[in-house]
Structure 1
Amino acid sequence: MKIKSIKAYHVVQPFVDGPYRMSKGRVADCFDAVIVAITSDSGVTGWGEMAPLGNFYSAAFPAGTRAGVPEIAPHLIGQDPRGLAGIGRLMDTVFKGHPYIKSALDMACWDLAARAADVPLVTMLGGRESDMAETYRVVTHGTLDQMAALAKRIIAEGCRRLQVKVGGNVRDDIERVTTVASAVPKGTVIFCDANAGWTPYQARQFADATRGIDYTFEQPCTTIDENMSVRRMLDKPMVLDESVTSLGEMLEIHRRGAADGLTLKISRLGGVTQTRLIRDVAVDLGFMITVEDTGGAEIDTAAMAHLSLSTPAERRLHAIAFHEWVTVRTARNAPPVTGSHMGVPDGPGLGIDVDSSLLGEPFFEID
Structure 2
Amino acid sequence: MKIKSIKAYHVVQPFVDGPYRMSKGRVADCFDAVIVAITSDTGVTGWGEMAPLGNFYSAAFPAGTRAGVPEIAPHLIGHDPRGLAGIGRLMDTVFKGHPYIKSALDMGCWDLAARAADVPLVTMLGGRESETAELYRVVTHGKVDQMAALAKMIVAEGYQRLQVKVGGNVRDDIERVTAVAAAVPKGTVIFCDANAGWTPYQARQFADATRRIDYTFEQPCTTIEENMSVRRMLDKPMVLDESVTSLQEMLEIHRRGAADGLTLKISRLGGVTQTRLIRDVAADLGFMITVEDTGGAEIDTAAMAHLSLSTPEERRLHAIAFHEWVTVRTASNKPPVRGSRIGIPDGPGLGIDVEPGLLGKPFFEIG
Report the secondary structure of 1:13's partner residue. Answer: strand
Report the secondary structure of 1:4's partner residue. Answer: strand
CA distance in 1, matches of 2:14, 2:309: 27
- Of residues 145-154 and 342-351 in structure 1, the stretch that sits farther from structure 2 once superposed is 145-154
Q: CA deviation at 1:152?
A: 1.0
CA distance in 2, matches of 1:62, 1:275: 21
- Of residues 337-346 and 148-157 in structure 1, the stretch that sits farther from structure 2 once superposed is 148-157
Q: CA deviation at 1:101?
A: 0.0
Q: CA deviation at 1:149?
A: 1.1
Q: CA deviation at 1:349?
A: 0.1
CA distance in 1, matches of 2:355, 2:344: 18
Report the secondary structure of 2:158's partner residue. Answer: coil
CA distance in 2, matches of 1:153, 1:33: 29
Deviation sequence 1:98-147 (CA, Å, 0-9, x none): 00000000000000000000000000000000000000000001111111
CA distance in 1, matches of 2:236, 2:11: 40
Deviation sequence 1:298-348 (CA, Å, 0-9, x none): 000000000000000000000000000000000110110001100000000
CA distance in 2, matches of 1:153, 1:116: 43
Report the secondary structure of 2:278's partner residue. Answer: helix
Q: CA deviation at 1:54?
A: 0.3
CA distance in 2, matches of 1:305, 1:235: 31
Report the secondary structure of 1:24's partner residue. Answer: helix
Q: CA deviation at 1:208?
A: 0.1
CA distance in 2, matches of 1:111, 1:150: 36
Report the secondary structure of 1:38's partner residue. Answer: strand
CA distance in 1, matches of 2:80, 2:361: 26
Report the secondary structure of 1:190's partner residue. Answer: strand
CA distance in 2, matches of 1:356, 1:134: 30
Query: What residue is the counterpart of 2:137 in the other structure?
Result: 137
CA distance in 1, matches of 2:115, 2:94: 27
Deviation sequence 1:138-186 (CA, Å, 0-9, x none): 0001111111111111111111000000000000000000000000000
Runs of 5+ in structure 1 lacking a partner? Answer: none
Query: What residue is the counterpart of 1:265 in the other structure?
Result: 265
Deviation sequence 1:192-245 (CA, Å, 0-9, x none): 000000000000000000000000000000000000000000000000000000
Report the secondary structure of 1:54's partner residue. Answer: coil
CA distance in 1, matches of 2:180, 2:244: 28
Deviation sequence 1:247-292 (CA, Å, 0-9, x none): 0000000000000000000000000000000000000000000000
Normalising by structure 1, what TM-score? 1.00
CA distance in 1, matches of 2:46, 2:172: 46
CA distance in 1, matches of 2:168, 2:278: 30
Q: Following TM superposition, where does structure 1 have runs of at least 4 consecutive aligned residues deviating by more than 4 angstroms?
A: none
Identity over aligned pairs, percent: 92
- Of residues 108-117 and 153-162 in structure 1, the stretch that sits farther from structure 2 once superposed is 153-162
CA distance in 2, matches of 1:194, 1:327: 27
CA distance in 1, matches of 2:320, 2:153: 17
CA distance in 2, matches of 1:303, 1:347: 13
Normalising by structure 2, what TM-score? 1.00
Report the secondary structure of 1:159's partner residue. Answer: coil
Deviation sequence 1:28-50 (CA, Å, 0-9, x none): 00000000000000000000000
Report the secondary structure of 2:319's partner residue. Answer: coil
CA distance in 1, matches of 2:105, 2:47: 8
Report the secondary structure of 2:214's partner residue. Answer: coil
Q: CA deviation at 1:91?
A: 0.1
RMSD: 0.3
Query: What residue is the counterpart of 1:74 in the other structure?
Result: 74
The alignment of Structure 1 onto Structure 2 pairs a total of residues equal to 367
Query: What residue is the counterpart of 2:122 in the other structure?
Result: 122
